[in-house]
Amino acid sequence: MVGCAMKPTLDMSDATRHALQTAGATVLCLVVAEWFGLEHANLAVWTTFLVMAQYTFTAFQKGLERVVGRGLGILAGLVLTTWFHDTAVLTLVLIAVLLTTFFYLYFAGRLAYTFLQAGLYVVAMFQIGHANPAAAVSAAQELFAAVVLGVVVAAFVMWLFGAERDIAIRFGEAPLWPIRADWLSQSLMLAVTVLLTLLGAHALGLPPEKAAISVMLLTVTPHVQAMILKGELRIAGALLATAWALGTFLLVRILPHFVLLAGLLFLGQFVAAYLTRTAGKYAYAGLQMGLVLPMLVVAPPAEFGSFTPAVQRLGGIVLGLVASVAVAGIWLRFPLADIVVPASQPPKFPGEMDM
């Protein structure tokens, strides 16, 4: 399991086998996405990676929750974009209410990954729709199609190799009533930090959704020290992916063949998946590497070789980390260091690494 100390050879062998399956699935997803001419092929590829590389219960549940959660977030973002486009203050209030609700359910452990994804995509979809309202619906359809394809490929590969047969869903059992003050406080802190980050990203000319997503993934950690470590590992993973992408760009420029690109993607995703399974408390860097690498190398020909997505992601991570630590540092109910976490609270870091 991710976050545990490395065990003997049998576990290393299991990690190798799992990394091979994960890397192979991402290449299969790339081939299928290219076959169907999917606009967001890279999203489909990194979805396959994230579903298979690490999960709390089963890859099946993680994939299903990813589809449902992102669908819910996309729908909510579309509603905000189309119904409240001209009422900026009301829209921000509604986003804050939705984020507080989604993340309270996350902290309660009730289909936590579903509501994490919903929170991520309500902001991302709103930003997409706000930038280009006329294309919001088609963009939503393309995004959702990519997520579904990535999840389907992951489930197929897991079934094909007999890696998983369990299709049970764990809904969580923590009581939602009476309202837990600590969960509510952290959810409100997250919503406030997201809104401040959106304003800051617009002022600095950074993609607001990337910074806001970093804020959400950092603020679900249990204390400020964990938040800083997670931010550092997000940066480390992005840099690892950028370095691998640089080598990929150079080789593919010399030998421009799809098979070479697919092979280099396979090797990169294998390394990322292996790190995710074996690197202990640093495993999140591997998860980030496997996410960012397809973002860079699975690109249209006109954009191939561009490091703009990596630069934007690094900028978003840094802004998100600064905003998260600044708000958390003055938030009265949020701890600065490790405390005893109630047994009813779901694992946040490391463990289910939230992306």
220 phi and psi angles, rounded to 5 deg: -80, -5
Q: Is residue 310 part of a domain?
A: yes
Q: How many domains does the chain have?
A: 1
In degrees to the nearest 10, what's the CA dihedral of 60, 66, 69, 73? -160
pLDDT tens-digit map of 165-205: 888 899 887 888 899 999 999 999 999 999 999 988 888 88
| Whole-number pLDDT of residue 174 | 81
156 confidence band (pLDDT: 50, 70, 90): very high
Tell whether the model's pLDDT for residue 7 goes beyond 50: no
CA distances from 176 to 23, 107, 172, 222, 237 (A): 39, 10, 10, 19, 35
For position 283, what pLDDT does the model report?
A: 94
Mean pLDDT of 154-173: 89
Confidence tier at 46 by pLDDT (50, 70, 90): very high
Q: Could you tell me if residue 337 is inside a domain? A: no
Asked whether residue 85 carries a pLDDT value surpassing 80, the answer given is no
Q: Which residues contact 227 (CB under 8 A, 6 or more apart)?
A: 218, 219, 221, 321, 324, 325, 328
Name every residue whose Cβ is closer than 8 Å to that of residue 209 and which is 6 or more positions away in sequence.
123, 124, 127, 128
**pLDDT beyond 60 at 346:** no
pLDDT on residue 136 = 86
Most confident of 76-90, 130-144, 229-243: 229-243
Instruction: State pLDDT tens for residues 244-274.
Output: 999 999 999 999 999 999 999 999 999 999 9
Residue at 241 is within a domain = yes
Return the pLDDT at 355.
58
Length of the chain: 355
Among 285, 174, 301, residue whose Cα is nearest residue 230: 285
339 within domain boundaries? no
Confidence at residue 17, expressed as pLDDT on a 0 to 100 scale: 94
Domain residue limits at 272: 9-330
> Is residue 68 assigned to a domain?
yes
- Nearest C-alpha neighbor of 43 from the set 79, 17, 67: 67
Crossing angle of helices 181-204 and 88-107, in 10° steps, is 140
As a whole number, the mean pLDDT across the chain is 88
Q: Which two tokens stand for residue 167?
A: 């299709």
The answer to whether residue 92 sits within a structural domain is: yes
Query: DSSP class of residue 220?
Result: T
Residue 343 within a domain: no
| pLDDT score recorded for residue 119 | 94
- Residue 318: pLDDT over 70: yes
Question: What is the spatial distance between Cα 327 and Cα 36, in angstroms, rounded to a whole number?
Answer: 44
Whether residue 317 lies inside any domain: the answer is yes
Residue 55 has pLDDT above 80, yes or no: yes
